[in-house]
Amino acid sequence: MTSRAEKLDEFRGHPGFEFIKQDVSNEVAVDGVVTHVLHLASPASPLDFPDYPIQIVKVGTVGTYHMLGLALAKNARFLLASTSEVYGDPLVHPQPESYWGNVNPIGPRGCYDESKRGAEAFAMAYHRARGVDTRIVRIFNTYGPGMRADDGRVVPNFIGQALRGEPLTVYGDGSQTRSLCYIDDLVEGLLAVLEGGDDLPINLGNPVETTMLELAALVVRLTGSRSQVEFQPLPTDDPKKRCPDISRARELLGWEPKVTLEAGLARTVDYFRAALAR
């Protein structure tokens, strides 16, 4: 729903690659041997939440159920992409996996937050009751090349605005923080969890925290833009702070992010510059 078929172009000629289009919220059927099931499907931008709340609840709950069923039937290892949103607007900072969160179930983010919390419960249930070999990763804000220009999340918004010479839309007073992880680090983390993790959740994210105003200034500098900042209302239930405690990933997997925010943003700026020129 929120991606494009062209993103698979670079894999299409590969002999080990096959694309089968199915909707995991309806049913999943895969012939032959399956060794790993990675359930990564879901819209994840807050901009998508008002447009697709039902699809988001379905893919997190019913979709997870179907993917766990596939893993059970095939005796495959299962990985769930959960989210830092399970911590909601956190009252503990930084957030360790042991924190249960502070989530509004009926707010505009509830469709995403609660379905991912339900997905975690589904994974634990299949692990405990059926012995499925499950992994749960709680992914914190991640960015990088390949994101939609109209994704709506802060990095593509700021970069696109800076490159077009438009004002950067800072929501609220910009003092809220996020901790931004570059995509390559995150992918390495996912693979490390798949191989070396256990059944309990593992935070994956970059623990370097930044305010949205600092991020805006950095994007302006990296793009060489003359854009100013324009303040807009803070969305409902927007978390004030977010930062992963990644001690568990460090100890269990020896994993930690390597790409600095500046280096990751520079690569992302290059991507969007080329995409805008097309």
Positions in the binding site for ligand UDP (CB under 6 A) = 46, 141, 153-154, 157, 169-171, 176, 178, 212, 234-235, 238
Catalytic member of 112, 126, 143, 182: 112
- Name 267's Cβ contacts closer than 8 Å, sequence gap at least 6: 144, 145, 182
Q: Contact, 160 vs 148, CB < 8 A?
A: no
Least distance to ligand UDP, CB of residue 100, Å = 19
Least distance to ligand UDP, CB of residue 178, Å = 5
Q: Please give the DSSP secondary-structure letter assigned to residue 107.
A: S
Using the minimum distance from each CB to ligand UDP, give the nearer residue, 104 or 169.
169
Using the minimum distance from each CB to ligand UDP, give the nearer residue, 116 or 178.
178
Question: In whole angstroms, how far apart are CA 274 and each of 5, 32, 102, 162, 202?
Answer: 19, 40, 40, 14, 35
Using the minimum distance from each CB to ligand UDP, give the nearer residue, 39 or 241.
241
Using the minimum distance from each CB to ligand UDP, give the nearer residue, 1 or 30.
1
Neighbours of 160 (CB within 10 A): 21
Least distance to ligand UDP, CB of residue 43, Å = 11
User: How far apart are alpha carbons 29 and 37 in whole angstroms?
Assistant: 12
Question: In whole angstroms, how far apart are CA 215 and each of 96, 207, 219, 257, 263?
Answer: 24, 15, 6, 18, 13
Q: Is 171 a catalytic residue?
A: no
Least distance to ligand UDP, CB of residue 176, Å = 4
Positions annotated as catalytic residues are 112
